[in-house]
Amino acid sequence: MQKDGTGLRARWRIRCPGGLAGKSVGVEGIASSQADVLLRITLRDGRRIRHVLKAEAPSFTIDADSSRTGVFKDYAVLGVEHILTGRDHLLFVLALVLLVGWGRSLAWTITSFTAGHSVTLALAALGVVHVPQAPMEAAIALSIYFLAVELTSARQGRETLTQRAPWAVAAGFGLVHGLGFAGALAEVGLPTAEIPLALFSFNVGIELGQLTFVTAVLIGGFVLRRALARRPAWLDLVPVYAMGCLSAYWVLARLETAIG
């Protein structure tokens, strides 16, 4: 066993009568450490299997034909989990929805955000771009603060840059968020033999989680629209100021981490 970055790397050679197909393979101690484990298995016939083990599922059963399918499923699930547990990414998407509103413009805006983060995610994951993670996390928080300021101006009746060019703003900040996604992917690693598939499925997972969140926001807005029809004007600014204060705190806290 040897240290590898912030984690540990261990290697075993297993001789199993009848082969590993249909057998369960796992790692003990994941539940107590709360760490994800990238398990890489090379079979005697040359096939390679990659599977992400988690605290709630510390083992899995090897299927003779599950190599590529398993990679797609594991990294897609990883993408969904990352976006749905990433408060900063979700807050950014929420701000976009509030600024752009319903309709075709929102669809193109979200697509532009996806395109932007897909580019930098791939470049960083492939080692083409190297950016320190701590400053990038601060930049992600700053992108949320920018949209909070835009929302404040929009609530006061002024047209904002995001409203005039939502696709450009979403794509530009998508480049920043993609580097943040790459940091999460680096913690698990990419399967050497299936890098394109893993990147694609991780992006698919992010997009599915993103669309799920946007759909929930739109449904929630539709359900509450009648109940909030007679709300006072100042009430619209409460979530905006809360978003601005939280993102400003994140910026300062993450800058402190980056500098320290």
- 118-159 per-position pLDDT tens digit: 999 989 888 888 888 888 899 999 999 999 999 999 888 888
Domain endpoint, select from 22, 40, 65: 65
Do 50 and 157 have their domain in common?
no
Contacts of residue 241, defined as CB under 8 A and 6 or more positions apart, other chains included, come to 148, 152
Do 162 and 50 have their domain in common?
no
Do 122 and 56 have their domain in common?
no
Per-residue pLDDT of 17-60, as tens digits, reads 666 666 777 777 776 766 777 777 776 655 666 677 777 777 77
pLDDT above 60 (res 6): no
Per-residue pLDDT of 75-117, as tens digits, reads 888 889 888 888 999 999 999 998 888 777 888 898 899 999 9
- State the pLDDT at residue 112: 92
Q: Give the mean pLDDT of 250-255.
A: 92
Do 83 and 35 have their domain in common?
no
Report the distance separating Cα 218 and Cα 94, nearest Å. 10
25 has which bridge partners? 60
- State the pLDDT at residue 57: 75
Report the distance separating Cα 183 and Cα 132, nearest Å. 9
What is the band of 171 on the pLDDT scale with cuts at 50, 70, 90? very high
The structural domain count of the chain equals: 2
- State the pLDDT at residue 247: 94
- Which residues span the domain enclosing 43? 2-65
First to last CA, the chain: 30
Do 61 and 88 have their domain in common?
no
Q: Is residue 217 part of a domain?
A: yes
Do 90 and 140 have their domain in common?
yes
Do 87 and 126 have their domain in common?
yes
The DSSP letter of residue 49 is E
Do 171 and 232 have their domain in common?
yes
* Residue 159 burial class via C-beta count within 10 angstroms: exposed 0-12, middle 13-18, buried 19 and up: exposed
- State the pLDDT at residue 193: 65
What is the CA angle 174-148-221, rounded to 5?
A: 90
Do 152 and 233 have their domain in common?
yes
Q: Is residue 70 part of a domain?
A: no
- State the pLDDT at residue 7: 62
Per-residue pLDDT of 176-224, as tens digits, reads 999 888 877 776 677 666 778 888 999 999 999 999 999 998 888 888 7
Do 134 and 170 have their domain in common?
yes
